[in-house]
Amino acid sequence: MIELMVVVVIITLFAAIGLRLTTSVLRSNQIINQSRLFKSTFAIAKARAIEHSAPVRVTVGNDRSILVVWDTSRTGLFPAGQESLILGFDVTTGNPSPYRNVVLSPEINDLPHYTGIAGLTVEEFPNNEFIILPDGRILSGTPLQTTSGTFFLASDSFAIDGRPEYQAAVHITAKGEVKMAFRDGHSGGEWNWIE
């Protein structure tokens, strides 16, 4: 009977460890996949700007939504009634956001520049919004100017020290290229540019 109890305890221990590891892998894959979803959304927005020969505005909401519209007036001012929905969360119809278990995180200042050149900063877009011109350039801010920016994502689960379990950054260059970085919050590890 004692031997049977020891075997049951050992099996339970291995099952608990396996479950924890599996959950951790699933969560890390989830935030990487959500980052790739952001990346593909921006690629679609850029393609539409070129296709329509018109500016496209991308807005990322704190409610995990993304709204992509193109300016049918082609002025870059996006006047009311002159915007056409391309994709994303449409507040008028209440369509749910495809982004799950991921939250926009406040600016993370310790993200190194993807080129590895010291002194170059990686910052958020003002108001989590930018405009893509038909030539692929990215404009943001007030007044609008060519710029790059980063969206920081975090899993809604936390590591022991209170930091997000996993963090990701989707960086968009002024030329419209997309770079992605990832960090494991358990180890307090370094950022790794993965794409």
Domain ranges of the chain: 48-193
Q: What is the pLDDT of residues 21-63, one digit of tens each?
A: 677 777 778 888 888 888 888 888 899 999 989 999 988 876 6
- Please answer whether residues 193 and 187 qualify as being in contact, where contact means their C-beta atoms are separated by less than 8 angstroms: no
Interval 55-112: pLDDT, tens: 999 888 766 677 888 888 888 888 877 777 777 654 445 555 555 555 666 656 678 8
Q: How far apart are CA 87 and CA 35, in angstroms?
A: 17
Asked if the peptide bond before residue 106 counts as cis, ω within 30 degrees of 0, the response is no
